[in-house]
Amino acid sequence: MNFINESAWKYLSVKLPILGAFLMLVLIPLLQWLTDYQIIPQQYHATVTGILIPALAWLGRKIAQPKLHQQPLGFATITAGHSNTDPGAVSGKIKEADLVVNFRNAVTHYLREAGLQVKTDGTGSRNDPLSSAIKLIKGSSVAVEFHMNAATSKQANGVETIALPKDKKLAQDLSKTVADALGSRLRGDNGWIDQSKSARGRLAYVNAGGLIVELGFISNEDELARFNARYWLAAKAVAKVLIDYESRN
């Protein structure tokens, strides 16, 4: 049996019955004295002692405690790679920037639905440049940007997340959930790429504390087709990883 990791003492439905129990230590002798001297009828003794604690428990459940329900999970930055003026990798008429904007919007939807505060580098089809995305990271508990890989070989495939060593576990979790949803494989160290070992070198977004998730290869027709067919499922899974991460931190 596992216990919920929170303090029950913050709830009035717990506090008031305990208060009632302490009151009973004073009330019972007093009631007994009043009935012994026939100041009150005997039945009042049983009525008061039998009703007090249940009544306080009921009252504790009815009194609103709005502050208990106004505790946001955290503040996430969710951005899309490239921008409206930089398409990124291209496969025919399909642009990387457009694909990752759709993914960003889907992840943002699920995070906000769960109560997370989210900063993004645009809404709808808008995709601000990298310089704007980096500025959003400050003050966020987690920051993730989405990209698509490309290679000269049309067989290259897989999912990876580029991050600093401190974010290795989160990077691996993000890559795995995307790979599972899209039916892809993991690249690097179980989905994590240390940016010091990345062919791209030092990345400004990662240096600022963010993680870059490469959702697959736009140059691989099969992987691209699976992404287009399942990206909402992958986005929902990514959102769950981030929600769980926020709940633990």
CATH number assigned to the domain comprising residue 195 = 3.40.630.40
Are 208 and 225 in the same domain?
A: yes
More confident residue, 100 or 8: 100
pLDDT tens digits along 69-96: 444 557 899 999 999 999 999 999 999 9
Tokens of 134: 């980096």
Residue pointed to by tokens 């946001």 = 72
> Domain check: are 16 and 81 in the same one?
no
Q: Provide Rg for the chain, Cα atoms.
A: 28
In a domain, 37, yes or no: yes
Shared domain for 55 and 160, answered yes or no, is no
Domain count, the chain: 2
pTM: 0.72
pLDDT band at 247 (very low <50, low <70, confident <90, very high): confident
Which residues span the domain enclosing 44?
A: 8-68
The number of CA neighbours under 13 Å toward the Cβ of 20 is: 19
Token pair belonging to 55: 């009544």
